[in-house]
Each structure stands twice: as structure tokens, then as C-alpha cells.
């Protein structure tokens, strides 16, 4: 069975973990500091990086450290993993969902403008599947309206926009290093920013609100959680970061292979390559109804041919919790259509040409020979 994703972990990562275990320092320590500096160097732009136990924690800390709270609205795309909305609610604010472009699955300045109210405090774009959002119009709008921009780059480590790495902009940008991402720390995330005050607040939030003076005397200045990354995870990340560009190059090769070799069929829509895309996922849309089937049955047929798939994602505004904010079917049609038709194909660096051929052959069989 070919899974839709698989992390690339080798002997170098295993040795790095063994060294940390032998050192006796397992929690946040020298490897975390080294990993933060290595990430900052990789991103450029003079940003400071602080790592967390997950990308979700990094987003939550970025929102709280930015002063987002009750009475505020945060504009987010309806097409993302639910963590994007959950952290807004966790901060006490209201998520305002907007529709996305049917091809890129990203929000745009036009959809954001229509959602602005007097309570809007921040825009949180998501770089879906490694494709960068068109950021400059959003930043210009934010400057004009006095809004914050906090980027959810959980799926976009290594993505570039106009040849600049996502994360180098200076505004808060959050990454995830979950095992299904382009590089992993087993679990983990990071916040990149050039605001020293926000970074200090985020440091406190990730570890119980604690701050120490030059003599080491402890005080608790804010609410804080337990969001720190252990050295074991950072050791894996230090190795993975050196391999990230190779990982992403292989992902790009595979994605272009899909675009070239997948069958053209009126019931299937393929993603489009753009410069700087890091290809975290390869998500197609399949009109299952037009094929006389449904997604579950289609996935079962693919599994019988040795191909695993994922679903990324249902439209967030239609989850029961977010319907409480007044959303109904039909409100955001592009996101809803994607949510009904999306299918994530296998894509990871260890895939071979034969693997890719197996997936394309399976789709040829189902699309040309009947999916039911």
C-alpha cells in the first residue's frame, strides 16, 4: 500500500537523537537554541525564530502575544486544517471565514475586503499545500486599515514568494513540523518574527508566563502554557533542515510528474504549479457524482489498487462548532465544492517513478473504466 505521505527519517536523525539521549539533557536546551538559529539563518530577513511543541501552539502564541482576544475578529480562509480556526477561538476572538480561489485554495485580498468590519483585528492567510498566498496586496490592505497579518505557514516550510522565503517578511509567520510536513521534528512548530517585544511575549506564553532577570530571579508576567520543544525534537529538526531543499526538489519533480501523467478527464481538476511552490500536498478535485460514485467508494477502489489517499480538507465553516457562528451551506461555494471533491494523492520524497506510475495508472483505470 502506497500511503499519501511518509516522513523521510534516516540514520543521521537517529544518531542525533541518540546523542541527545546520551547527553542527559532531554528538554529544551542547546539543541533547541541551535535549531532556532539555524531556522532563522535559513529564512533570512533578520527574523528571530522561537520553536514550539506544535504548529498549533505557535499560532496560538502568536495570536495571544499580538493582543488578539475577546471582541476581535480574525479573517481566515474556510479551506485549511481546523487548527487555523481553533486557535482563534482559543484566543477568545471570532473566526471570520472567507472563500478561496478554486485552484490555489488560498484567500485573496478581494475576499478579505468583503469580510472587513469594525471588529476586524487581523488577517490570517494560509499558504495551502505549499503554494504561497499573494501577500503584498494583503499587506497593503492591512497597512491601510491598521490590521495585523499573522501567516499560517504550517504547510509552507521552504515555500518562496517572489524568490523570498515565506517567514522572512517580519510579521508573525508560523510553521508546523508534524510528520506529514515537508520536514519534521516528530511534533513541533515555529514562530518567525522581527518584533522583539512579540518574541518575548511568545517566549513567556510557551512556558508558563515565566521571565527571569539577569540574576535568574523568576517572575510570572502573563498567562502561559506548556508549549516548549524538547531537545530530542530539535535534534531531528537540525538534520531535517539540512535536507529540506532536497526534499522539496523531489516533491516538485513528483508534482510535475503528476501534472504531466495523470489522465485528463472532465471530472477531475488538477492543481497548478507556480514558482516557489513547495508542494506539501498534491490535492485534486474529483466530481464523484459525475462519475456515479462517492468519495469513500472511490478511495476504496484506489486502496484495492494499492494507492492510499487523504482528504484535505472539508470546508471548516460547516463543522458543527463553527456553524454556531451563523454559517450555512452555500455561504462559501468554492471552499464547499473543494471540501466535497478534494482528494490528496501520495507525495513524499521517497516515492519512486514506479510509485507515481502506479497512482496515475489507478486513476486512468477508475476515470476511464468506471469508478463505481
Strands (E) across the chain are located at: 48-52, 73-77, 94-98, 120-123, 148-149, 151-152, 160-161, 164-165, 173-176, 189-193, 210-212, 218-220, 268-269, 282-286, 342-345
Q: Is residue 4 part of a domain?
A: no
Q: d(Cα 98, Cα 85) in Å, to the nearest integer?
A: 12
Are 285 and 235 in a shared domain?
no
Q: Is residue 2 part of a domain?
A: no
- CA-CA-CA-CA torsion sign (64, 68, 71, 72): negative
Say what the pLDDT of residue 369 is: 74
Across the chain, which distance is largest between two alpha carbons, in Å?
A: 73
Are 168 and 82 in a shared domain?
yes
Are 329 and 182 in a shared domain?
no
Q: For residue 187, which of 7, 61, 2 has the smallest C-alpha distance?
A: 7
Say what the pLDDT of residue 143 is: 97
pTM: 0.96
Are 34 and 145 in a shared domain?
yes
Q: d(Cα 35, Cα 303) in Å, to the nearest integer?
A: 38
CATH of the domain at 176: 3.40.640.10
Cell of 22: 546520551
Are 158 and 269 in a shared domain?
no
DSSP code for 318: G
Q: Is residue 312 part of a domain?
A: yes
Are 260 and 350 in a shared domain?
yes
Question: Among 239, 261, 288, which residue terminates a domain?
Answer: 239
* Residue 181 designated active-site: yes
Say what the pLDDT of residue 370 is: 58
Q: Is residue 23 part of a domain?
A: yes
Question: Among 197, 213, 239, which residue terminates a domain?
Answer: 239
CA angle, residues 236, 57, 170, in degrees to nearest 5: 85
* Contact by Cβ (8 Å): 153, 159: yes
Say what the pLDDT of residue 90 is: 96
Are 196 and 299 in a shared domain?
no
Q: Is residue 150 part of a domain?
A: yes
Are 200 and 161 in a shared domain?
yes
Counting the structural domains of the chain, the total is: 2
Say what the pLDDT of residue 368 is: 85
Are 217 and 273 in a shared domain?
no
Are 204 and 164 in a shared domain?
yes
Are 234 and 146 in a shared domain?
yes
181, 226, 261, 289: which is the annotated catalytic residue?
Answer: 181
Question: Among 194, 215, 239, which residue terminates a domain?
Answer: 239
CA 16 → CA 23, 94, 299, distances in Å?
11, 42, 38
Are 231 and 288 in a shared domain?
no
Written as tens digits, the pLDDT of the chain (372 aa) is 999 999 999 999 999 999 999 998 999 999 999 999 999 999 999 999 999 999 999 999 999 999 999 999 999 999 999 999 999 999 999 999 999 999 999 999 999 999 999 999 999 999 999 999 999 999 999 999 999 999 999 999 999 999 999 999 999 999 999 999 999 999 999 999 999 999 999 999 999 999 999 999 999 998 999 999 999 999 999 999 999 999 999 999 999 999 999 999 999 999 999 999 999 999 999 999 999 999 999 999 999 999 999 999 999 999 999 999 999 999 999 999 999 999 999 999 999 999 999 999 999 999 987 555
Range of the domain at 273: 244-369
Q: Is residue 189 part of a domain?
A: yes
Amino acid at each position: 500500500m502506497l500511503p499519501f505521505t511518509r516522513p523521510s527519517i534516516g540514520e543521521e536523525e537517529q544518531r542525533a537523537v541518540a546523542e541527545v539521549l546520551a547527553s542527559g539533557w532531554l528538554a529544551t536546551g542547546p539543541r533547541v537554541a541551535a535549531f532556532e538559529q539555524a531556522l532563522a539563518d535559513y529564512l533570512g530577513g533578520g527574523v528571530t525564530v522561537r520553536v514550539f511543541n506544535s504548529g498549533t501552539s505557535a499560532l496560538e502564541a502568536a495570536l495571544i502575544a499580538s493582543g488578539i482576544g475577546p471582541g476581535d475578529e480574525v479573517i481566515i480562509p474556510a479551506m485549511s486544517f481546523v487548527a487555523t480556526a481553533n486557535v482563534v477561538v482559543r484566543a477568545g476572538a471570532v473566526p471570520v471565514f472567507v472563500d478561496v480561489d478554486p485552484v490555489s485554495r488560498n484567500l485573496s485580498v478581494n475576499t478579505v475586503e468583503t469580510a472587513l468590519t469594525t471588529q476586524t483585528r487581523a488577517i490570517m492567510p494560509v499558504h495551502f499545500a505549499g503554494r504561497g498566498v499573494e501577500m503584498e496586496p494583503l499587506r497593503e490592505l492591512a497597512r491601510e486599515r491598521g490590521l495585523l497579518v499573522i501567516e499560517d505557514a504550517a504547510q509552507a516550510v521552504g515555500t518562496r514568494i517572489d524568490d523570498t522565503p515565506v517567514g522572512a517578511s517580519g510579521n508573525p509567520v508560523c510553521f508546523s513540523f508534524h510528520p506529514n510536513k515537508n520536514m519534521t521534528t516528530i511534533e513541533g512548530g515555529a514562530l518567525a518574527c522581527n518584533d522583539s517585544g512579540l518574541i518575548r511575549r511568545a517566549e513567556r506564553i510557551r512556558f508558563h508566563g515565566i521571565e527571569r532577570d539577569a540574576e535568574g530571579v523568576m517572575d510570572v508576567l502573563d498567562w502561559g502554557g506548556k508549549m516548549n520543544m524538547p531537545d530530542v525534537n530539535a535534534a531531528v529538526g537540525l538534520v531535517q533542515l539540512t535536507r529540506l531543499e532536497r526534499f522539496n526538489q523531489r516533491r516538485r519533480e513528483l508534482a510535475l510528474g503528476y501534472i504531466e501523467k495523470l489522465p485528463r478527464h472532465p471530472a477531475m481538476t488538477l492543481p497548478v504549479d507556480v514558482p516557489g511552490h513547495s508542494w506539501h500536498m498534491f490535492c485534486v478535485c474529483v466530481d464523484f457524482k459525475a462519475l456515479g460514485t462517492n468519495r469513500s467508494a472511490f478511495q476504496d477502489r484506489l486502496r484495492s489498487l494499492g494507492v492510499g489517499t487523504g482528504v484535505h480538507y472539508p470546508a471548516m465553516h460547516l463543522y458543527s462548532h463553527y456553524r454556531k457562528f451563523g454559517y450555512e451551506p452555500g455561504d462559501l461555494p468554492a471552499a464547499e465544492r473543494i471540501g466535497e471533491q478534494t482528494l490528496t494523492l501520495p507525495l513524499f520524497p521517497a516515492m519512486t517513478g514506479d510509485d507515481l506510475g502506479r497512482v496515475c495508472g489507478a486513476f486512468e483505470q477508475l476515470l476511464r473504466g468506471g469508478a463505481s
